[in-house]
């Protein structure tokens, strides 16, 4: 039995109403309905209202900013009976463009004609501040928009594919192959031995940042096999008992993080320098010091991530 409490990005509020996706006439009517609302994305960022707590901005139909859209909106579903869409306006160019950050994007980009407290912001940078519902809705919109951005060509024959089914499929006009949004399974492991937890840091992370080990599953693997393989490949630590704890949609760009607890059978670390820059065993006391800021050499994963979720609950002894 895993942890039953909700995790960031798991609070989606839509009735996905898949029966409407193949009805273009109904969708056109919904796009024009005064009750419908649109979540607007720009280069992967979402439109956020920062006037109080951070919250998603839902725009009314035919807003002026929609003129920057180069594709039809994606139908997300119904919310309290009203239609919800996601619309990408990445073609818009701001007056004062900012350089792309190396790791985490804390920039807030305003849009002309909107109040100053409404800006485009990176979801990863604000995920811990959003409500459960907003975070879940945002993960759905960002995930499907990003899929369209990087899957515009048919993987079978290479031709430019077209959007169908209200944004939930693409079809190749040449070979007629249909393509569906992908979700990549990733195992992420709370590896413990006694009072210690195994953590690592990837190349290019901010100084001092560590997190739980994680890796993509491979064809033919079970979840538990992937946990054991990834930990051994990256650190040389052998794993015994594995237990599923919780999972998290992770729209960066399109993963499902499968959180597990793993018991280490060995402690010696043999680092794979290609996969990790560093790995170490951290005691509960040192982990707590990192969380409260008294250990400046160790910065934990950001709030909202499943890594932080699992680590917090291990420290509070509430995993089981």
Q: What is the CATH number of the domain that holds 264?
A: 3.90.79.10
Return the H-helix or E-strand segment holding 290: helix 284-292
pLDDT of residue 102: 66
Residues 161 and 97 in one domain: no
DSSP letters along 65-134, please?
Answer: GGGG--SPPEEEEEETTEEEEEEE-TT---SS--PPPSS----EEE-TTS-TTEEEE-HHHHTTTS-HHH
**Structurally, how many domains does the chain consist of?**
3
- DSSP conformational letter for 38: E
Of 209, 202, 195, 197, the closest CA to residue 281 belongs to 197
The list of the chain residues with pLDDT below 70 reads 1-4, 102-103
Q: What is the CATH number of the domain that holds 136?
A: 3.90.79
Residues 192 and 71 in one domain: no
Residue 13 lies in a domain: no
Residue 75 lies in a domain: yes
pLDDT of residue 2: 59
Residue 134 lies in a domain: yes
Residues 130 and 240 in one domain: no
pLDDT of residue 1: 47
Residues 197 and 265 in one domain: yes
Residues 26 and 124 in one domain: yes
Q: Which long-range contacts (CB under 8 A, 24 or more apart) does 214-221 make?
A: 214/186, 214/187, 214/188, 214/189, 214/257, 214/307, 215/186, 215/187, 215/275, 216/184, 216/185, 216/186, 216/255, 217/185, 217/186, 217/187, 217/258
pLDDT of residue 165: 97
pLDDT of residue 4: 62
Residue 2 lies in a domain: no
Residue 10 lies in a domain: no
Residues 144 and 156 in one domain: no
Residues 190 and 86 in one domain: no
Write the pLDDT tens digit of every residue in 27-65.
999 999 999 999 999 999 999 999 999 999 999 998 899
Extract the tokens encoding 107: 């920039």
Residue 3 lies in a domain: no
Residues 189 and 309 in one domain: yes
pLDDT of residue 5: 75
Q: How many helical (H) and strand (E) elements, i.e. helices and strands, does the chain have? A: 6, 17
Question: Which residue range(s) make up the domain with 140?
Answer: 18-150
């Amino acid at each position: 039995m895993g942890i039953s409490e909700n995790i960031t990005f798991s609070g989606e509020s839509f009735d996905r109403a898949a029966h409407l996706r193949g009805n273009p006439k109904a969708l056109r009517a919904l796009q024009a309905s005064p009750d419908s609302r649109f979540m607007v994305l720009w280069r992967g960022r979402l439109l956020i209202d920062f006037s109080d707590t951070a919250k998603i901005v839902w725009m009314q139909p035919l807003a002026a900013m929609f003129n920057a859209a180069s594709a039809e909106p994606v139908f997300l579903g119904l919310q309290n009976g009203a239609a919800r869409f996601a619309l990408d306006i990445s073609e818009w160019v701001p007056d004062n463009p900012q350089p792309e950050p190396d790791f985490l994007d804390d920039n807030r980009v305003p849009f002309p004609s909107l109040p100053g407290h409404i800006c485009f912001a990176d979801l990863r940078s604000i995920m811990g501040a959003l409500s459960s519902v907003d975070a879940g809705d945002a993960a759905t919109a960002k995930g499907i928009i990003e899929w369209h951005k990087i899957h515009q060509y048919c993987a079978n024959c290479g031709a430019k594919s077209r959007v169908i089914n209200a944004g939930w499929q693409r079809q190749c006009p040449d070979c007629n192959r249909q393509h569906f949004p992908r979700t990549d399974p990733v195992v992420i492991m709370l590896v413990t031995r006694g009072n210690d937890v195994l953590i690592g840091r990837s190349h290019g992370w901010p100084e001092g940042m560590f997190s739980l080990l994680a890796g993509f599953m491979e064809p033919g693997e079970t979840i538990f096999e992937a946990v054991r393989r990834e930990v051994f490949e990256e650190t040389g630590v052998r794993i015994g008992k594995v237990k599923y704890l919780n999972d998290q949609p992770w729209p960066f760009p399109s993963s499902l993080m499968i959180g597990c607890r793993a018991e280490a059978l060995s402690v010696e670390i043999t680092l794979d320098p290609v996969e990790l820059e560093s790995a170490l065993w951290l005691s509960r006391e040192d982990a707590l010091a990192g969380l409260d800021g008294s250990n400046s050499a160790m910065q934990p994963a950001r709030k909202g991530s499943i890594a932080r979720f699992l680590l917090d609950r291990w420290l509070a002894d509430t995993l089981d």
